[in-house]
Amino acid sequence: MENTIRQFLDYLEFEKRYSEQTIKNYEIDLYHLKEYCTKNRLNYLKLSYDAVSEYVIDMQKSGYKSTSINRTLSSQRSFYNYLIKKDITETNPFELINNLKTEKKLPNYFKYSDFEEMLETLEDDKPLTLRNALIIELLLSTGLRVSELSSIKISDMDLKNNEIKILGKGNKERIVYYREATKQKLYFYLKDSRPVLLKGKFSEYLLINNNGGKLTERGIRYIIDGIIKKCSINTRVTPHTFRHTFATMLLNEGCDIRSVQELLGHANLNTTSIYTHLTNEAIRKTYLNAHPHGKY
């Protein structure tokens, strides 16, 4: 099983081009199944429906949340579909297992005043500070996934039209746009910061780390954590929170949901529709202000 897991992870990285974090999650889930099979002396290529059901029950008894179990089941389904594709096995024992019911939680987001507070912590003109200011500007302006931000190449940038070509999930290409404030930070980063960070090296990537190489997803998360620690923001903020905030702001300002779907790179409109729930309060306030009897 060890070899097939490694082959599958290589397939996700080099053919599917999944992000570093996504591949790590798959690895955790698959090795969890491997340990379960070893412990219970099960042949992973001959798992029955009953055996998989017991596996799910075991995770529940171990205290796994429904969301974690569902993610694990999704990983296992993908793994066995890969095994079928490679003629390693003929059936997928996880196909008949339904996901557990979960409580839907709305994604958190922050206020624009919180973003301004973040920028206030990045006011000097040091190379790393200029880069970090650009990072949060790009995240809020584009709604990019952290993996997409880390993978931007200089050749993907259309500096004249404020556009970036993005290769997202499933190798789906899309164009995102950035605002004038971001363009200004991009200009100073390219002029005064990036050449210093490169230390005479060459890189095709936009964002550079302190050693002159590509800035990783983990590096971006570390930078965001450092910025938030200097702020008085109560909301938990990660790179993905910028994506939630981007979508919420656009919908609050009247952008249609299909345009937001395209900008986010969502394959399914249902994935985007969750953000409409976040705008209910804005709609309520608009109603109260606009309706002649709304305030009474």
- Which one of the listed residues 111, 243, 284, 293 is annotated catalytic? 243
Do residues 21 and 64 lie in contact, with contact meaning Cβ atoms separated by under 8 Å? no
- Whether 182 contacts 134, CB under 8 Å: yes
Class of residue 241 by CB neighbours under 10 A (exposed 0-12, middle 13-18, buried 19+): buried
Is-catalytic flag, 266? yes
Active site residue: 24, 165, 169, 214, which one?
169
**Phi, psi values for residue 212, rounded to 5°:** 85, 10
- As a whole number of angstroms, the distance between CA 179 and CA 115 comes to 15
Residue 165: enclosing H or E segment and its boundaries?
strand 163-167
In whole angstroms, give the CA distance from residue 150 to residue 208. Answer: 9
Asked if 240 is an active-site residue, the reply is: yes
Question: Looking at 55, 82, 178, 275, which residue is catalytic?
Answer: 275
Q: Which of 131, 194, 244, 266 is catalytic?
A: 266
CB 239 within 8 A of CB 149: yes
CB 217 within 8 A of CB 21: yes
275 is catalytic: yes
Q: Which of 145, 185, 194, 244 is catalytic?
A: 145
258 catalytic per annotation: no
Q: Which residues are catalytic?
A: 145, 169, 240, 243, 266, 275
